Amino acid sequence: MYQEEIFSNVMTDAKRDGYDSLTHELKGMEAAIERFFTKIFETTSSLAERDFNISNF
């Protein structure tokens, strides 16, 4: 009985650690993608302003 409880606790901790690691990795990927799109849209908007003589809204 005691061994089953220890095993259950270890499995729960392993799942929690895996979940925390996964969410941390996903947040890093989200930040990288967000920076990428920000740079792309800033570049394209500045090119449009320059080429077509329009102002940024």
pTM across the whole model: 0.63
pLDDT band at 2 (very low <50, low <70, confident <90, very high): confident
Please say if the pLDDT value at position 47 is more than 80. no
Q: Kindly give, in sequence order, each residue whose CB lies less than 8 Å from that of residue 45, ignoring residues fewer than 6 positions away.
A: 56
Give residues with Cβ within 8 angstroms of 48, minimum separation 6: 54
Q: Is a pLDDT exceeding 80 seen at residue 23?
A: yes
pLDDT at 43: 83
**Rounded-to-integer distance, Cα 53 and Cα 47, Å:** 9
